[in-house]
Structure 1
């Protein structure tokens, strides 16, 4: 028999039991339907005030959204939560990459929840300047804290904001406070040069350092030292204990060279080992002493008021910038002027002035 007389080859599929569905069509339909139903601002606020983590997470997503249609709803949620906020202490933690921020925060957070506190960690993950993406892996690093019912971890991409602080971190703090979290920890990218943003939204600023990573004077030169309320030398364990003690002495001497703080607080240096979970109680004692001082001399309230004014001005600047770049006529002229500047037909200053003149016309 010729091959063409047999329509089936040796590799044909035999009839048999049909393969089951790779997923449930009915379940998928339910998921898609639930996603289309967006809770109202009132429902999210009610959930936040009752401590519902799902409602809190969805509200934070709205606040972080760059979609203009989400702005009004996010503002309504923030306004409704504002009267229930400002009942926490806000702690900023920064340090160079590799200093052990995530490990320290997990151990520190577990220590605080052990004291009966509710801890929210706003971990800011650096965004790539090339792909503009972020790994957002802080929950993976803090695997013990993430399972704690009295803790909430929210990683966010830094984007292009100053100091690597997510654009809406300030509003996220308000939502977390309204949800009942009494201790807010903000972990910054730790670039070491532009931490002004996080300093302007926290009550206590903690700088993590490590010993034996080069000349300690290089760390002392940084302006970030002036903002720190405490310096904690991490990884004071094993063969590094002696180096950590020496670094503590050097930093203590250096702090006396800086101007006195308006709060009346004298910055403190201590050592700890997040790996061995030692010295964590001493860190919290230092922070507690600070709050006892600034709440007693009214500096705490004064700083909060000053920060609110600062963020009002920052919001104005941000909205003006966004409105400028989203203006259709500006967008067209911007591309023309970019090309003219590249070809040396127009100076950068003149190109900018043309754009501003067009915008304010």
Structure 2
């Protein structure tokens, strides 16, 4: 693969080149990983930055509907929008439906938008293993806003906060009370809480839920990288497209303040260091997947099961064997 030509096409905003580049970085083949590293190095210093927005919420809260309505609003303003949607993988077959794009039929036809579904694989935290790298490629392709839609699994889905500038949590009406709101985990990572489906018969419940969470947010410890009014809770209706302009205005306000105060740059530097450490962990775990390591693991596992070794001693021998391979 000609990485130089791919990087050149990527910088021109070529959608096919972007799709090929994301496929490359998601591949687990050794030669593809080497090419992906070269590609990411080639676009590292191009100076392009997009506003990265992470979107999470429970299944059925309307993430895809919100993204389509929100994305259409942004493209109407002349902004280029990339959507990286993470789809859950089956624990049995390992496959994914990757159907998020079909839910966004209007946005998928918009020339100012790019939608890429990816399987979560065995990755925890609601994102795919290479979502951050895919976001960097979207920046290199000249997109202005990158929306990262997580799997939607619950309160521990916080990995997306380590790869975005803003973290938006979507909630459904009557989804909890103030006690639910002060639980640690995903709630304390959110920059903006949007109570969706604030329309029709659900509007009164949405208003009450928003008030509950607004009160709960005041009980959380203030973060250094937030202005006085954040985080905050708001109501929106993705179906009727109400409240989207206000939500976008709040996102711009928060991002502008963090830029001026230097928090955005420092957060990105902290995130880069975090993912460097994650890449090292992945590389070490990959050593366990080699045939030699698997054979050694099987033998030691049999000894542990038979009571001939303790698990601690078997682990020590396994690590010694890996050091010998290195």
Instruction: Give, in whole Å, the separation in 1 of the partners of 2:281 and 2:57.
Output: 28
Tell which structure's C-alpha radius of gyration is larger. Answer: 1
Distance 2:289 2:251 in 1: 42
1:228 corresponds to 2:185: no
RMSD over aligned CA atoms reads 1.6
Q: CA deviation at 1:331?
A: 1.4
Q: Which runs of 5+ in 2 are unaligned?
A: none
Q: By how many angstroms is 1:222 displaced?
A: 4.2
- Name 2:274's counterpart in structure 1: 310
Select 2:205's aligned residue among 239, 243, 255.
243
Once residues 181 and 63 of structure 1 are traced to their aligned partners in structure 2, the CA distance between those partners, rounded to angstroms, is: 18
In the alignment, what sits opposite 2:237?
A: 273
Q: In structure 2, do the counterparts of structure 1 residues 281 and 105 end up closer, same or farther at CA, with 3 Å as the change threshold?
A: same
Partner of 2:96, secondary structure, is coil
Rounded to whole Å, the distance in 2 between the matches of 1:329 and 1:180 is 44
TM-score with structure 1 setting the length: 0.85
**Residues 1:123 and 2:88 are matched in the alignment:** no
Q: In 2 relative to 1, CA 277–344 (structure 1 residues): closer, same or farther, beyond 3 Å?
A: farther
Residues 210, 59 of structure 1: alpha-carbon distance in 2 compared, 3 angstrom cutoff: same
Q: 1:218 to 1:338 in 2, by over 3 A?
A: farther
- Structure 1 match to 2:38: 76
Say whether 1:140 aligns with 2:102.
yes
CA distance in 1, matches of 2:216, 2:7: 47
Q: 1:179 aligns with which of 109, 130, 141?
A: 141
Go from structure 1 to structure 2 and tell me whether the alpha carbon gap of 1:219 and 1:97 turns closer, same or farther (over 3 Å shift): farther
Deviations 1:31-81 (A, max 9, x none): xxxxxxxx5111211110111111111111111001111112111111111
| 1:220 Cα deviation from its structure 2 partner | 3.8
Do 2:126 and 2:158's aligned partners in 1 also have CA atoms closer than 8 Å?
Answer: no
- Deviation of 1:99 (Å): 0.6
The 3 A distance-change label for structure 1 pair 134 and 85 is: farther
Could you tell me which residue of structure 2 aligns to residue 335 of structure 1? 298
Q: Which moved more, 1:102-111 or 1:207-216?
A: 207-216
Shift of the alpha carbon at 1:195? 2.6
1:163–1:190: 8 Å Cα contact kept in structure 2?
no
Partner of 1:84, secondary structure, is coil
Gaps of 5+ in 1: 1-38
| 1:208 aligned counterpart, secondary structure | strand
Q: Is the 8 A contact 1:245 1:271 kept in 2?
A: yes
1:319 counterpart = 2:280: no
- Bigger mean CA offset, 221-230 vs 336-345: 336-345
User: Mean alpha-carbon deviation: is it higher for 198-207 or for 330-339?
Assistant: 330-339
Match of 2:131 in 1: 169
Structure 1 position 215, deviation (Å): 5.1
* Equivalent pairs, count: 322
Q: What is the rounded CA distance, in whole Å, between the counterparts of 1:238 and 1:222 in structure 2? A: 31
- In structure 2, how many angstroms separate the alpha carbons of the residues matched to 1:228 and 1:133? 30
The answer as to whether partners of 1:192 and 1:222 remain within 8 angstroms in 2 is no
C-alpha separation in 1, matches of 2:295 and 2:156: 32
Q: Which residue of 2 aligns with 1:354?
A: 317
- Structure 2 residue aligned with 1:301: 265
Shift of 1:298: 1.0
Structure possessing the higher relative contact order (Cα contacts under 8 Å, 6 or more residues apart)? 2
In the alignment, structure 1 residue 254 sits paired with structure 2 residue 224: no
1:64-103 equivalences under 5 Å are 64-84=26-46, 86-103=48-65
